[in-house]
Copies of this chain bind each other. A is one copy, B any other.
Amino acid sequence: MNPFEKLKEMFREFPGIGPRQAERFVYFLLYKEKNFRGELVKEIASLSNEVYQCSLCFRFFQSKNKTSACSICADTHRDTSLLMVVPKDVDFESIEKSHAYKGLYFILGGTASFSTKKQVPLRMKSLQSRLEKGAKEGLKELIIATSINPEGEHTQATIEDAIKDIVKKHNITISTLGKGLSTGAEIEYVDRETLESALKGRKPEILA
């Protein structure tokens, strides 16, 4: 196959990229100065050399030296009484960027699928080991942070099923993220379940 076509085909595998945009990408690279392509090649190659997967939380991280634990798992200032399990690296990124959480993480590697065919291998055994290890180091609460949709709820149930014996044995609390009105929610358009949660979880206002 023509290398033009080959590159187009590879870009089509990128998430959310159709044939048109894949073609535009090739022309974009062609019209860019040679330097940009050189830089891009170098950075993509470095993903194979300088990227490691953390042995504790399983997220990918970049490091000049081979190390087994990522900077967060190795950080002694994080709250080791809290562990949050999230399906994917991008979920972890989203939460870590919010600066609202100071505990540790565990990346499950995907969501539980309803179809038995499409089942992605999830790191349930590794999660169990992580909990055993955590129990010895003061872990008090496991936060399951999955999306509020059928897949997320199925993933939550799958996790709970896999770890219930361990958390009971070690007296670890399981919690889920609070439901209610999200930023931007308009009363007129809010669905019934969200309204119920928002009403149950209403907060007293302290007036000045």
Contact = CB atoms under 8 A, between A and B. Distances in A.
Contacts of A168: 207
Nearest to A24: B15
Q: Chain A at the B interface: mostly helix, strand, loop or mixed?
A: helix
Given A2-B62, A195-B94, A86 B30 contact: no
* Copies of this protein, total: 4
A26 B93 CA distance: 12
Contact of A180 (B4, B34, B47, B178): B178
B25 A91 contact: no
B202 A178 contact: yes
A152 B185 CA distance: 10
A16 B21 contact: yes
A44 B194 CA distance: 34
20 contacts: A24-B90, A37-B48, A90-B188, A95-B187, A97-B192, A100-B199, A143-B199, A147-B186, A148-B182, A148-B183, A149-B186, A160-B207, A175-B203, A176-B202, A178-B178, A178-B197, A180-B182, A180-B197, A180-B201, A182-B185
Interface of A: 2-4, 6-7, 10, 13-16, 20-21, 23-30, 34, 36-41, 43-48, 50-51, 60, 62, 86-91, 93-95, 97-101, 143-149, 152, 160, 164, 167-168, 173-205, 207-208
